[in-house]
């Protein structure tokens, strides 16, 4: 069975794995940040007072590494101002007051024969639809599908691992929208002209494995696409781990998957590509897991810009006063200062924790046990990088490949001394990146 070095087995607590999809109400107010992706923020092309329709473009990309924003409801633009953001604290956002009609823009129409389109046409559609990586990284998808001439892509991987504890939104989508995801993956395959295509799914999702295997057989695609069953281990869904587990190709330090001829895309991204290419719909909604200390944990289909507070209320409300609200899961998620933040393109989950769920222990001294080294999927030495960060020796931290850390949290999870290794490595990465920018 495909595997990777390192990793851990946390308590997965996927309490919504059998929950059928619920559809969140179209909110009365949507807050759409202009930065919902890696790269330059989008630029508004509407004004306060404008009446707009669902799916209408309201902000345009401001560079190649950028993505447009579309209205997730019809109504009136009541403000363009700074609002709380689930990742970057605050950000300029377009605020729309819904008219309750959900009146779709006239330009959104199905395509008759989308598979007949050329690769460049398909990439343009994907770019104009505002699609970004929906596994959390939020990297503009059209960029990922446009490798340089010297980077020949021969392998594409559909990421259905969903290894993060609590989260089940990808799993649910794989069951509900198997055909759409597969068609989106075929679009990716056509654009990149990849010889090899794999769908990676952890073995705790047997029904999803069965759904894709049966569909591939039904469509007689066995020679083109293979389902790879992955062991359930965190962080199996990490892009570099997934590539190594399936192909045994190792992405070099500081490198990208395209350096080893690979491109990986999340299942929700493939579904968004299907919506854009086949249905003519831009990215205005996604599947989100609302879980933890709420009365009705579930997977919900959610319009972008809906507030966490609104979704928690639709989930029966808090069981008790929350101690922590996390955007994402407990390992890589980001704690929020308020529930008034909006769902954005990269929001995979909303996890509510009570006081008894949050472990706060005093930090001890490093005992040189090496558990963090054994657990690190990137083969780093987290204890050294953390110590160098604490000493503010960021140049030395860079020599230990601090920038290769993608903050999965394995090191902090296994540390018996409860040293906040991820926090310190994040600080080192930020300082190293800041210095590099200053040099440029």
Number of domains in the chain: 2
What pLDDT digit, counting tens, does each position of 362-394 carry? Answer: 899 999 999 999 999 999 999 999 999 999 999
Q: Which domain holds residue 405?
A: 371-439
Query: Is 262 a member of any domain?
Result: yes
Query: Is 340 a member of any domain?
Result: no
Query: Is 406 a member of any domain?
Result: yes
Question: Residue 155 corresponds to which tokens in the numbers above?
Answer: 């392998």
b/e per residue 143-170 (b: at least 16 CB within 10 A) = bbbbbeeeeebebbbbbbbbbbbbbbbb
Which has more pLDDT, 182 or 436? 182
Tell me the average pLDDT across 63-67.
94
Residue 57: name the closest of 81, 79, 85, 32 by CA. 32
Query: Is 4 a member of any domain?
Result: no
* Omega of the bond leading into 235 within 30 degrees of 0 (cis): yes
Given this model, what pLDDT does residue 2 score? 63
Given this model, what pLDDT does residue 23 score? 97
Query: Is 156 a member of any domain?
Result: yes
d(CA 61, CA 248): 36
> What mean pLDDT is reported for the chain?
95
Domain end, chosen from 279, 301, 320, is at 279
- In this structure, are 159 and 263 located in the same domain? yes
Cα distances (Å, whole numbers) of residue 116 to 122, 187, 191, 273, 377 = 10, 10, 12, 15, 41
Q: Are 349 and 290 in contact (CB under 8 A)?
A: yes
In the block, tokens 């056509």 appear at: 190
Query: Is 35 a member of any domain?
Result: no
- In this structure, are 149 and 262 located in the same domain? yes
Domain end, chosen from 236, 257, 279, is at 279
- In this structure, are 274 and 402 located in the same domain? no
d(CA 296, CA 241): 33
What pLDDT digit, counting tens, does each position of 243-291 carry? Answer: 999 999 999 988 999 999 999 999 999 999 999 999 999 999 999 999 9
- In this structure, are 119 and 259 located in the same domain? yes
Q: Does 1 score more than 60 pLDDT?
A: no
Query: Is 23 a member of any domain?
Result: no
- In this structure, are 243 and 383 located in the same domain? no
What pLDDT digit, counting tens, does each position of 11-51 carry? Answer: 999 999 999 999 999 999 999 999 999 999 999 999 999 99
Query: Is 268 a member of any domain?
Result: yes
3-state secondary structure of 197: strand
- In this structure, are 141 and 250 located in the same domain? yes
Domain end, chosen from 279, 302, 336, is at 279
- Domain with residue 192: its CATH number is 3.40.50.11540
* pTM confidence score: 0.96
Q: Are 352 and 329 in contact (CB under 8 A)?
A: no
Residue 36: name the closest of 141, 185, 171 by CA. 141
Phi, psi of 433 (to 5 degrees): -65, -40
């Amino acid at each position: 069975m495909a595997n990777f070095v390192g990793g851990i087995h946390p308590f997965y607590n996927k309490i919504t794995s059998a929950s059928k999809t619920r559809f969140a109400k179209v909110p009365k107010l949507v807050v759409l940040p202009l930065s919902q992706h890696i790269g330059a923020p989008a630029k508004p092309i509407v004004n306060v007072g404008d009446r707009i329709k669902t799916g209408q473009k309201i902000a345009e990309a401001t560079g190649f590494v950028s993505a447009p924003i579309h209205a997730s409801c019809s109504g009136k633009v009541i403000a363009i101002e700074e609002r709380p953001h689930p990742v970057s604290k605050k950000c300029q956002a377009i605020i729309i007051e819904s008219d309750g009609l959900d009146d779709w823009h006239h330009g959104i129409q199905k395509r008759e024969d989308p598979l007949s389109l050329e690769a460049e046409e398909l990439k343009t559609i994907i770019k104009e639809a505002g699609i970004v990586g929906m596994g959390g990284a939020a990297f503009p998808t059209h960029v990922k599908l446009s490798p340089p001439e010297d980077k020949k892509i021969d392998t594409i991987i559909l990421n259905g691992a969903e290894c993060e504890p609590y989260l089940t939104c990808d799993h649910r989508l794989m069951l509900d929208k198997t055909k759409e995801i597969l068609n989106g993956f075929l679009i990716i395959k056509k654009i990149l002209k990849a010889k090899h295509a794999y769908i990676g799914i952890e073995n705790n999702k047997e029904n999803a494995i069965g759904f894709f295997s049966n569909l591939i057989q039904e469509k007689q695609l066995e020679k083109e696409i293979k389902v790879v069953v992955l062991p359930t281990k965190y962080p199996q869904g990490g892009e570099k781990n997934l590539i190594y587990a399936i192909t045994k190709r190792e992405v070099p330090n500081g490198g990208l998957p395209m350096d080893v001829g690979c491109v990986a895309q999340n299942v929700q991204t493939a579904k968004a590509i299907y919506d854009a290419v086949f249905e003519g719909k831009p990215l205005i909604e996604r599947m989100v897991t609302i879980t933890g200390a709420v009365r009705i944990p579930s997977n919900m289909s959610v319009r972008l810009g809906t507030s966490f507070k609104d979704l928690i209320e639709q989930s029966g409300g808090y069981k008790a006063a929350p101690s922590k609200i996390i955007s994402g899961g407990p390992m890589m998620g980001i704690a929020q200062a308020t529930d008034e933040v909006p769902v954005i393109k990269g929001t995979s989950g909303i996890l509510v924790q009570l006081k008894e769920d949050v472990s706060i222990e005093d930090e001890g001294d490093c005992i040189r046990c090496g558990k963090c080294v054994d657990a690190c999927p990137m083969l780093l030495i987290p204890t050294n990088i953390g110590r160098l960060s604490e000493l503010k020796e960021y140049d030395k931290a860079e020599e230990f490949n601090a920038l290769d850390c993608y903050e999965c949290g394995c090191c902090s999870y296994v540390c018996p001394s409860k040293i906040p290794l991820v926090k310190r490595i994040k600080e080192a990465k930020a300082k190293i990146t800041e210095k590099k920018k200053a040099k440029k």
